[in-house]
Every structure is written in structure tokens, then in C-alpha cells.
Chain A
Amino acid sequence: MAANDFLAETPENFEQKCLCILVLDVSGSMIGNPIQQLNEGLQRFKQQVMNDEIASQRLEICIITFSGRVACIQEPSLIHNFEMPTLKAGGSTALVDGLRRAILKVTTRKNWYKQTGQPYYRPFVIMITDGEPDADQDVKGVSQDIDIRVDNKEFLFFPIGVQDANMDVLRQLSHRSTPPMMLRGLNFNEFFQWLSNSVSVITKSKEGDKVNLPDTSGWGQIAI
């Protein structure tokens, strides 16, 4: 640096954390191309986050899958600390159980942040599904719960439909601030690019009543 320039050392501060929970449908209807595209999208997402120095230090990813059963296959973790799993599809669609697990995960992780004094952002819950929830799934109950929690700013909820998803169900589940989106074709790569950009926006702008997220036209359309 030239003489007469300003010089300074910067302190070591612990980075704020942004929890992003992916609630992914791995039921039988996802077998074949859909699950393959989703897996490729996840790999792309990992690469995009790794290339963003700030997001890679702030974003904690948690992956919950649902088919006939629900599994948290990736506990909240920074992108550098885990290998993106390869998902396999099969079974029925316990969609509501998957969402319940995600809501519980939001609460426990936020408690952990509070207990350890870690600053954090409003978590994201992203649900991707292509099907119809099983008959025993209490869609009405969980949708009421989501409404209250999103109103209370506990998290942001984005329901994404793929191919033959029942958009009436997604509309019922969604909060008015973030209507359900329909993925155009199997455009997971563009979707995950958008998600990566959105996380950047959330972690870099001030909280307000409105969330200004990047344009979604590259991958989806609002379900009408």
C-alpha cells in the first residue's frame, strides 16, 4: 500500500448465523429425473454458498427429508463442515410430519443460539414437494401453526411445488407474505441459485416488515 494511505487491523469477531432448513420430499413420486435434478441442485447450491465468503461463514444448513418417514439427515452445519448428501426417493408423503420436525428444529436451534450468545438471523424454512400429503397428515393444523409463527417472525416459510404438486395444499400451508411457488420444469439449479442469493440478501439487509428477495422468474412462477 502506498505511503500516506490509511492502514488498520481488524478484530476477530464471531460471525452471525443464518439457519436454512430444507424440508425435502423424497417420496416415491420423486423417483427418477426429479430426485436426480434435486441432487444436482443441492450440489450446485453447496458450490454457490462456498463461493460466497460471507454466506459460507453465516449459513447453517439443515436437511430434513420426508417420505413415509421423516429424517433429519443433516443437522444444522456450516457448508464447509459436511458433504451434501445424495437423496434417494421412495415411499409415501408425510409432508406435515416433515414440517413439524422443521418447526421444532427452528425452536431448538434458536434456543441454542441464545444460550451460547450467538447472534443470528431469521431462519428460512424451504419445503420442496411434488406430491399429495398422505391422508393422515393434518394440513390444516400445521398451516395454522405456520401462520402464527411466521406472523411472529419466528422464521420465513417458502413452499415450493414441483411438477404434479397439489398447489391447493401448498396455498393452504403458505403464509400470505410468501405465496407458494411452482418450480418451472425441474429447474432446481436456478432455484438454488435464487436461494443462495436470497440468503445473501437476508443476511445483509436490515429486518423490516417486508422482505425484498431477488426475482424468482428464472425458476418459478407464483401459483394462481
Chain B
Amino acid sequence: MAKKKQKLWVVVGDSVMGLNHVKNNIPCQDSHLYEEMENGWGIAIVADGAGSADYSHQGSQFVVKEGMSLFKKIVTENKWTTSKKLPEQDKWHKLAKTSLKQLRNMLAKEAKQTNKELGQLASTIMVAIFSPLGILCTHIGDGRGGYSNSKGEWKPLFTPWKGEYANETIFLTSDIWADKEVNKFVESKVINEKPFAFTLMSDGLEMHSFECSVWDEKEEKYYDPNRPYQKFFNPVVNGLVQMKQNRMTDDEIKGKWNKFLREGNEKIKNEPDDKTMIIGAYFPNGTS
């Protein structure tokens, strides 16, 4: 009998409509996917469709689905799941950038085949390849990502791209690829620290889980420390771990997570924007 693949992570994620989308009958424009591969390696992707694009909900769905295939292929072809170390920064950035450009071209083809403009499918993308050794991440646009080390210290995975306006960002579909300065828009990082947990989220949840607009006494102005809020993430991860230890099924945990994203507290409940968050916690001895 084939040996069952042992899981080393418990991961939960969901995308729920924000209040404004519910009120105005706008579809959820966020999408997400996650999948554990082997030896504790896995991939999480979040995409947030542009509010100003008519079919961005379809764009974000396409991006997470095809993005998952592309990044799984990278992990497999490079035999990372059996490697003792993570790739170098330069190598990862080149691979990530090439894959994201390929994904953009696939989206352009999809747009053409479905008689749409590419911009109508505009979506951001955030990718985290998690492993027992560390995390590889890449992204275009806004949203937040974070991870915690074994001491329970939370750190950001990347810096969201924000324009002059609070709701202004760039997308996979934006005119950034021909630019000689494309590296300003595609950020990739190798985190060489063993992770205890990680998160990816669309910007609809950033104000509720990250410190992103706080007062700097010295400079006497507001700034964005891009700091995952420990009092948010540590209880959430502890809850996830306990649910798994209490032998709740993945579906039961996902149901709890969906409820939390919909109405976890008053602020989350009243959030107008769509809300997506993926949380993963590492179980070095396996999840069952």
C-alpha cells in the first residue's frame, strides 16, 4: 500500500465578501489557493482583483489557479523539496519574475480568448513558498504577508506597493514589464529563518492585523511600520494549532475561519473591502 504523504503544516484560508461588495452586489474580487507538496514544502497564493476592473474576480481566480501550477513546477524542477538549503536571492528573484511575466502573458491570452481587455482582469498577486527551512515570497501590488519564528516574533514578508493614494496600487496586468525598472514593482525575498507560522492577506484585512498607520513621536508624523500585530496573529495561530490538536477536520477548521473572516470582531465585520487571509502553522512532527 502506498505510504500516505505526511503533512507538516496546518493551513487554513478563505476569501469572503466585504460589506461594500455585499451592499452593492459586487462579486468577491479576492481569490486564494494553498497546497502542501512534500517534505513540508507548500505554496500559498492570494490575488486581489482591481475594484475598477469589470472582470477582476475572474482575473484573480485565473491568477491563483495558474500561478499555483507555475510555482509548483518551479519547486519540482529545482528539486527544492529534497534540498538542504533555500535558493540564493538572485536565483529566486529571476525565477519569480520570469514566472510572473509568464502568468501575465497567460492572462493576456485568456483575455483575448474571452473577448476582454487585459485591464478588465486586473489583479494583484502574492506568493509564499513555505518550507521547514524558510520562506520564498514574491508579489506585485498591495496586500500583506508575514511570518513568525520559533520565538513567536512576527515579521513582514514584503512591502506592499502603494501609490500616492491609499487605494492605489499596481497589478500583474499593469504596464510594468517593459520598464527597465521592473524590479521596483516585482519584489522577491528569501527568508532564511525557520518559520513557525506564516500569513498572506489581501489589503481588506491589513488594518485589522498589521500596524500600518501609526504615529511616530520623533518625526511627528504618521508612518507605516508594516508590522504584523502579535496580539492578532499569536492567538489566531494558537487557535489553529489547538483545533488541529483537538482533531477537528480541515473542513471544520475552515468553517471556523470563514466565520472569523466574516464576523471575527466589529472591525472585521464592518470592513467594506473583500477579505482574504491564509494562515499556516508548522507541525515538525506531522499533523496527525
Which A residues have a C-beta under 8 Å from some C-beta of B?
Answer: 4-16, 53-54, 115-122, 153, 197, 200-212, 214
Q: Does B83 contact A (CB under 8 A)?
A: no
Whether A120 touches B166, Cβ cut-off 8 Å, given contacts A7-B235, A11-B211, A200-B272, is yes
Of all chain B residues, the one with the shortest Cβ separation from A7 is B235
With beta carbons under 8 angstroms apart, the residue of A6, A9, A14, A122 that contacts B213 is A14
What are 20 A-B pairs with beta-carbon distances under 8 A? A5-B256, A5-B260, A7-B236, A8-B231, A10-B207, A10-B267, A11-B229, A11-B231, A53-B270, A54-B272, A116-B222, A117-B222, A119-B162, A201-B24, A203-B167, A204-B51, A204-B167, A206-B52, A206-B169, A209-B119
With beta carbons under 8 angstroms apart, the residue of A13, A119, A153, A206 that contacts B50 is A206
Interface residues in B130-183 by Cβ distance below 8 A to A read 142, 162-169
Taken together as a complex, chains A and B put the C-alpha atoms of A206 and B163 apart, in Å, by: 11
Contact A11 B122 (CB under 8 A): no
Contact B229 A5 (CB under 8 A): no
Of all chain A residues, the one with the shortest Cβ separation from B212 is A13
Whether A207 touches B209, Cβ cut-off 8 Å, given contacts A11-B232, A118-B222, A200-B20, is no
8 A-B pairs besides A4-B239, A4-B242 with CB distance below 8 A are A9-B231, A11-B231, A12-B214, A203-B272, A204-B167, A206-B168, A207-B168, A208-B52
Contact B52 A207 (CB under 8 A): yes
Whether A119 touches B20, Cβ cut-off 8 Å, given contacts A7-B235, A9-B229, A200-B272, is no
Q: Does B264 contact A (CB under 8 A)?
A: yes
Q: How large is the interface on B (under 10, 10 to 19, 20 to 34, 35 or more residues)?
A: 35 or more
Taken together as a complex, chains A and B put the C-alpha atoms of A57 and B260 apart, in Å, by: 24
Taken together as a complex, chains A and B put the C-alpha atoms of A118 and B219 apart, in Å, by: 13
Contact A7 B239 (CB under 8 A): yes
Taken together as a complex, chains A and B put the C-alpha atoms of A197 and B20 apart, in Å, by: 10
Of all chain A residues, the one with the shortest Cβ separation from B228 is A11
In the complex, which residues of chain B have a beta carbon less than 8 angstroms from the beta carbon of A203? 166-167, 272
Contact B221 A206 (CB under 8 A): no
A112 to chain B, nearest CB (A): 11
Which B residues have a C-beta under 8 Å from some C-beta of A?
Answer: 18, 20, 24, 48, 50-53, 119, 122, 142, 162-169, 207-216, 219, 221-224, 229, 231-233, 235-236, 239-240, 242-243, 246, 248, 256-257, 259-260, 264-265, 267-268, 270, 272-273
In the complex, which residues of chain A have a beta carbon less than 8 angstroms from the beta carbon of B213? 13-16, 118-119
With beta carbons under 8 angstroms apart, the residue of A14, A204, A207 that contacts B214 is A14
With beta carbons under 8 angstroms apart, the residue of B52, B232, B267 that contacts A211 is B52
In the complex, which residues of chain B have a beta carbon less than 8 angstroms from the beta carbon of A7? 235-236, 239, 264
In the complex, which residues of chain B have a beta carbon less than 8 angstroms from the beta carbon of A14? 213-215, 222
Contact A11 B168 (CB under 8 A): no
Contact B222 A121 (CB under 8 A): no
A178 to chain B, nearest CB (A): 14
In the complex, which residues of chain B have a beta carbon less than 8 angstroms from the beta carbon of A206? 48, 50-52, 142, 167-169
Taken together as a complex, chains A and B put the C-alpha atoms of A153 and B169 apart, in Å, by: 14
Whether A8 touches B270, Cβ cut-off 8 Å, given contacts A203-B167, A207-B163, is no
